[in-house]
């Protein structure tokens, strides 16, 4: 199957070939023909599957195929949860529309609205936007949704998590009834199903293989370490392994700032990205990380979705997320486009339950080690300790496994010379697809 076989125009095929895509990804192969037919789509799509081209290419095909009046009304709208994802989707649209007569733009908050208003005034065919800023611009009459033909909700679950449901419904209320709707989501909670049933008409369900080939290449490693030792451990991990591009996730914005400061103090170039940073700082941090002028990007879950950092080799969970699905999104930043990736998690006694929830979701025990010099001494709170003894770190505890041991050899490549594996987990070190929350 080629892009041409999917029915896309020669101009679009040329643009994707220039990007180096030799054949459509599974989601593109499945979704593009339906979208070209004008069907509504409900797509289960993890990041890294090529979903952006999956919805962009057929929409561009449709838009380029119709006559453009002198003033171009907005006909296609892509809503995304984060500014970074909006910018990334827009970059893709620009690349794919290189050889077609289509005007595109992006709008999001945190930056001046005036230039966005000026761009919209000139007429735009396809707009990428975050919901809040888009509504502001609509209130100012800088944009109209009356001629929308196609609405795309990207990372719809994240938009709901971020509280955008009212904004989305309000935006939709200004649109014509007759339009095509494409909804992409990584997970399918009841709220997403409710949103989908209110928007989509006779949708075709498009599901990519539960386990995409990129995620298969991610190895997982847990290091059990006390909370107060995590910073020192992270610095050692990065320095000992000479890592040059690592995305580190913290649970809080404050935690991200603190860790960034400490990394810089230790001579490791780093920047933080989270919701309290100005948009200028967020854009700069991401750009410096992508062009390798800094080694470490410390992020909250704002960066867990959608961001495409080609060939990112390492993700460190400085703290485990309390929502197990977020682990899957975080680690999805590595192991993309067929490359191998490593997901490392630092787990202290308080996080044992989180690890256990993640393992349940992945249906797999994570390979777990203790490093000499960083042996955990904190004990878990009583309730959590009980959970741990049920096997959070392994089905059956080996005697002495809570201390440094010469347990089974890790399948994962050791990060330290004195790397010791503990626990009785399988050491498969590879994830299988989340078994839950799929449709």
Measured distance CA(273)–CA(207) in Å, rounded: 31
Measured distance CA(337)–CA(48) in Å, rounded: 7
SS3 call for 13: helix
Measured distance CA(27)–CA(56) in Å, rounded: 12
21 touching ligand AMP, by CB under 6 A: yes
Shortest gap between Cβ of 385 and ligand AMP (angstroms)? 40
Which residues in 157-217 belong to E strands, given as ranges?
180-185, 204-207
48 touching ligand AMP, by CB under 6 A: yes
Which stretch, 50-58, 119-127, 258-266, 362-370, contacts ligand AMP (CB under 6 A)?
A: 50-58
Which stretch, 18-26, 192-200, 225-233, 376-384, contacts ligand AMP (CB under 6 A)?
A: 18-26
Q: Which of 53, 102, 268, 433 binds ligand AMP (CB under 6 A)?
A: 53
Q: Can you tell me which residue has the tokens 């800088």?
A: 142
Shortest gap between Cβ of 310 and ligand AMP (angstroms)? 6
SS3 call for 331: helix
Which stretch, 51-59, 195-203, 246-254, 369-377, contacts ligand AMP (CB under 6 A)?
A: 51-59
Phi, psi at 100, each rounded to 5°: -120, 155
Residue closer to ligand AMP by CB (options 10, 418) is: 10
Tokens of 266: 């230790």
50 touching ligand AMP, by CB under 6 A: yes
Residues in contact with ligand AMP, shown as a per-residue x/- string from 297 to 336 under the rule CB under 6 A: -----------x-x-------------------------x
Site size toward ligand AMP (CB under 6 A) is 15
SS3 call for 370: strand
337 touching ligand AMP, by CB under 6 A: yes
Shortest gap between Cβ of 372 and ligand AMP (angstroms)? 39
SS3 call for 204: strand
User: Alpha helices of 19-80 — where are they, by DSSP H?
Assistant: 26-36, 51-64
User: Alpha helices of 37-107 — where are they, by DSSP H?
Assistant: 51-64, 83-96
Measured over the CA atoms of residue 225, residue 288, residue 253 and residue 325, the dihedral's sign is negative
Beta bridge partners of residue 121, listed in sequence order: none
Shortest gap between Cβ of 22 and ligand AMP (angstroms)? 7
Measured distance CA(368)–CA(98) in Å, rounded: 48
Measured distance CA(252)–CA(319) in Å, rounded: 9
What burial class does residue 94 get, using C-beta atoms within 10 Å of its C-beta: 0-12 exposed, 13-18 middle, 19+ buried? middle
Which stretch, 42-50, 126-134, 252-260, 312-320, contacts ligand AMP (CB under 6 A)?
A: 42-50
Residue closer to ligand AMP by CB (options 21, 188) is: 21
Residue closer to ligand AMP by CB (options 50, 423) is: 50
Shortest gap between Cβ of 56 and ligand AMP (angstroms)? 9
Q: Can you tell me which residue has the tokens 């494409």?
A: 182
Shortest gap between Cβ of 21 and ligand AMP (angstroms)? 4
Which stretch, 24-32, 69-77, 161-169, 256-264, contacts ligand AMP (CB under 6 A)?
A: 24-32
Measured distance CA(95)–CA(414) in Å, rounded: 40
Which stretch, 43-51, 167-175, 322-330, 353-361, contacts ligand AMP (CB under 6 A)?
A: 43-51
Q: Which residues bind ligand AMP (CB under 6 A)?
A: 21, 24-25, 28, 47-53, 308, 310, 336-337
């Amino acid at each position: 199957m080629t892009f041409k076989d999917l029915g896309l125009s020669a101009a679009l095929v040329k643009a994707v070939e220039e990007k180096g895509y030799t054949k459509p990804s599974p989601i593109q192969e499945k979704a593009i023909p339906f979208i070209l037919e004008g069907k509504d789509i409900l797509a289960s799509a993890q990041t890294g599957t090529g979903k952006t081209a999956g919805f962009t290419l057929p929409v561009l095909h449709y838009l380029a195929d119709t006559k453009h009046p002198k003033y171009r009304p907005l006909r296609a709208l892509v809503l995304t949860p984060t500014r970074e994802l909006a910018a990334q989707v827009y970059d893709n649209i620009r690349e794919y529309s290189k050889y077609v007569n289509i005007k595109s733009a992006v709008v999001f908050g945190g930056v001046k609205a005036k230039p966005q208003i000026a761009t919209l005034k000139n007429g735009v065919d396809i707009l990428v936007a975050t919901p809040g800023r888009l509504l502001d611009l609509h209130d100012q009459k800088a944009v109209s949704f009356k001629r929308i033909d196609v609405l795309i909700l990207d990372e719809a679950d994240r938009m709901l998590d971020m509280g955008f449901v009212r904004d989305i419904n309000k935006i939709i209320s200004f649109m014509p009834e007759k339009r095509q709707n494409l909804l992409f989501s990584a997970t399918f909670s009841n709220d997403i199903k409710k949103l989908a049933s209110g928007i989509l008409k006779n949708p075709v369900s498009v599901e990519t293989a539960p386990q995409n080939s990129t995620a298969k290449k991610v190895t997982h490693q847990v290091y059990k370490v006390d909370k107060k030792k995590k910073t020192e451990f992270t610095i050692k991990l990065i320095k000992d392994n000479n890592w040059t591009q690592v995305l580190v996730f913290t649970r809080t914005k404050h935690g991200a700032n603190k860790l960034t400061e400490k990394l810089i103090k230790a001579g490791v170039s780093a920047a933080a990205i989270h919701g309290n940073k100005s948009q200028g700082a967020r854009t700069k941090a991401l750009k410096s990380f992508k062009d390798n002028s800094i080694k470490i990007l410390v992020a909250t879950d704002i960066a867990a979705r959608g961001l495409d950092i080609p060939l990112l080799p390492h993700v460190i969970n400085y703290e485990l997320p309390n929502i197990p699905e977020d682990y899957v999104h975080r680690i999805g930043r590595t192991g993309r486009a067929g490359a191998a990736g490593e997901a490392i998690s630092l787990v202290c006694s308080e996080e044992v339950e989180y690890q256990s929830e993640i393992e349940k979701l992945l249906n797999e025990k994570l390979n777990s080690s203790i490093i000499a010099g960083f042996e955990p001494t904190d004990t878990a709170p009583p309730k959590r300790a009980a959970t741990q003894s049920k096997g959070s770190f392994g089905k059956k505890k080996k005697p002495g496994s809570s201390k440094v041991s010469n347990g089974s050899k890790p399948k994962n490549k050791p990060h330290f010379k004195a790397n010791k594996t503990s626990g009785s987990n399988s050491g498969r070190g590879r994830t299988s697809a989340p078994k839950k929350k799929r449709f």
